Chain A
């Protein structure tokens, strides 16, 4: 991938959240963005949250876990487990060893941690923040130019990004209050932090993406840099050809009819997708970029690499 043109704005940020409705290909796009940034020479890490392990599925089914694992040149991956993040957070907070040991052995502590609403999400975002630091808190931590997060789907995604602010409101004093505020400042720092919404060219996903963008901008206050319309069919046939194919399908039998019907269906879908693309462009503010439908049996690393080249 030499000689590629760098993608402006979005990959120049330090932290990018990839979100969208369930099943639209968020993980594939997050990995593709990671591959692209790495190919542009940026040291990049792709993070999964809430133990999804989807990216590791793309990276040939090896489990990533709570470690920074090198996946390709310049590209790392980590699965951020909230319990591990909590542990790491406590280790960084408490300098006295005896106290830490006591804490980790205590059932009451893990109970409290589990019972406090939003704490899991908060420490997860805390870990993302830590990864994005040039001066890493974790000893011998690598420095990354870009952190990409495969964020939770629509409804949960908004709640996730709002966690620090919500938490700062419920914990009004103490170290966690100021840390939550710091995390909220990171998320709403429009110069360094951004989001990419992944959408599909269908009626409801387009509506949801438009609603998601406006909530991300107005409620969360985060920058929305891109909307990626995923799975766009090629326009293989023009209108006249489609008419001829429809006539052929009506007049023929057997395999010729099947092939003509498949072509007509494809033409119909490609056209309705173009209409949805136009609607999406009218309804969102961020630049809308398209990604092709991949006629691949499964979305694997090769698929993500294909998309990485097509990103803009």
Chain B
């Protein structure tokens, strides 16, 4: 597997995807830093409100506007910065509001939508709206031409499918075509739909209460003038995602569950004909044979005992055996991943001694991300 800079050569957009807790935010920040260091103007977008990205980039806070990371900070961490690194945290609600303002034919329709209680719920809480708005912001920034490369840290979606389907599902919801018909119960449409539908509607009304239904009706009416605009835009967003200048990187951890999710996500990418770039596995226990070079494991405890005494030698051996068990598990899981993805190599980032939460840590990760497979083993063994 080539290094990340080779995978991203000539790309405008890099989307890091994977399940929660696998280090997506850190990986996104590291990739953006590495590519910026190589001379590009890069912007990394996160929707993670947990301030992780801001913390790791030395920014006090991130907002819905891109902010540049102080170039001096890189020097302090020994990173030669040839380009520029920018970062922003996506505010899904603000992005949705901007989009509505842009699509609304006039101020009155805009306010009708923004003031609607159903809108206020979906713009911040509806499953998929965050994902959709991440795509939307990506589309907008890409169109602005301000950056050479955009790196998107995707929301920690439970199900990979949600993320890819979000634009479609949300536009379908907003469109609400079949629903709007029934909101006018006296019209011709209701007659066509028949008695069953009107009874269903009245039962639903009885359960959730009339005012909620009225709000829903008002919501779809308010949106009716914007449906075409939303649909056209969703189409363009989808086209951008499938563009050969876009690249999806799947990020995962070495345990069984994240590996299964990565396999699943890869399959979905292929089905949707989206450009898969590679897979990064974080926190890998490198196999001992890569670390140890030559030596007979049978003699280990005796050799250690001569140096350290029996008690300490036994604990060192116990620790080493457990480390090796984990490294064998990781190797097995990664082999399975490589076979499923039909890829010869996987970018493995080792489980580092230090927790990564600042630019120094990102630079350490980048020694692996921006290296060939052979170089990575040498670095992990402390020989490079």
Contact A50 B158 (CB under 8 A): yes
Interface string of B294-335 (1 = CB under 8 A from A): 111100100110011000100111111011011011000000
In the bound complex, how far is the Cα of B179 from the Cα of A94, in angstroms?
Answer: 23
Judge whether B353 is part of the interface by a CB distance below 8 angstroms.
yes
Interface string of B102-115 (1 = CB under 8 A from A): 00000000000000
In the bound complex, how far is the Cα of B207 from the Cα of A173, in angstroms?
Answer: 10
Residue ranges of A at the interface with B (Cβ–Cβ < 8 Å): 21-24, 50, 52, 54, 57, 90, 93-94, 99, 102-103, 105-109, 111-113, 115-119, 152-155, 159, 166, 170-177, 202-204, 207-208, 211, 236-237, 241, 244-245, 248, 253-266, 268-269, 272, 276, 295, 297-299
CB closest chain-A residue, reference B178: A111
**Which one of B31-39, B193-201, B262-270, B273-281 contacts A?**
B193-201
Contact A260 B316 (CB under 8 A): yes
Interface residue ranges of B100-144 to A (CB < 8 Å): 117-118, 121-122, 125-126
Q: Which residues of A contact B209 (CB under 8 A)?
A: 171-177
CB closest chain-B residue, reference A156: B158
Judge whether B71 is part of the interface by a CB distance below 8 angstroms.
no
Q: Which residues of B contact A176 (CB under 8 A)?
A: 207-209, 212
CB closest chain-B residue, reference A176: B208
**Which one of B8-16, B79-87, B249-257 contacts A?**
B249-257
Which of A105, A237, A258 interacts with B320 by CB under 8 Å? A258
CB closest chain-B residue, reference A265: B353
CB distance from A179 to the nearest CB of B (A): 9
The tally of residues in B whose CB lies under 8 Å from a CB in A reads 76
Main SS at interface, chain B:
helix
In the bound complex, how far is the Cα of B355 from the Cα of A152, in angstroms?
Answer: 25
CB distance from A113 to the nearest CB of B (A): 8
Contact A108 B197 (CB under 8 A): yes
CB distance from A122 to the nearest CB of B (A): 10
Q: Which residues of A contact B233 (CB under 8 A)?
A: none
Contact A117 B118 (CB under 8 A): yes
CB distance from A209 to the nearest CB of B (A): 10
Contact B354 A262 (CB under 8 A): no
Contact B304 A259 (CB under 8 A): yes
Contact B173 A262 (CB under 8 A): no
In the bound complex, how far is the Cα of B292 from the Cα of A262, in angstroms?
Answer: 10
Q: Which residues of B contact A175 (CB under 8 A)?
A: 206-207, 209
Contact A255 B118 (CB under 8 A): no
Contact A117 B121 (CB under 8 A): yes
Closest 10 CB pairs of A and B: A23-B21, A22-B20, A174-B209, A255-B295, A254-B295, A258-B292, A106-B200, A22-B21, A297-B329, A295-B322
